[in-house]
Amino acid sequence: MADNSASVYAVLLAGGVGTRLWPISRERHPKQLAKFIGKDSLVQNTVKRLLPVMAPDAIKIVCGYEHYDDISRHLSEIGISPADKIISEPYGRNTAPAILLAVLSIMKAEQDAIICVFPADHVIGDVGVFHERLRSAIQ
């Protein structure tokens, strides 16, 4: 369970068309949906890693419209409701516009939110230190 206020949000960037890690990653199955480590996909691992610090309802995932259903299913598989968590880009335009889209969405609900941005496909070795540093950054 999260130990901070609802004014802290995590934005996961889950865009991309899956060309860099071909053939594991493909247009309809980008790397964030692949299972490289353990039984969960990279996006599932990222969400799970954030839960001790972030409230589940404060996690937003930006992805292309073509991956909306897959991201939704991946969230459901780990017991997280996808409702109001997925922000679908009509067109992929790289990192800055994806972040802006998420910020504008969050600002509709809360003007003074703290927003932390993460790639949805990262791997963290020492999760305890990650949580420590994240809590420190939020403070």
Contact 46, 117 (CB under 8 A): no
- In tens, the pLDDT along 74-106 reads 999 999 999 999 999 987 888 999 999 999 999
Take residue 109 and report the two structure tokens written for it: 């609900």
Contact 9, 60 (CB under 8 A): yes
Whether pTM exceeds 0.85 = yes
- In tens, the pLDDT along 25-78 reads 555 666 788 887 789 999 999 999 999 999 999 999 999 998 999 999 999 999
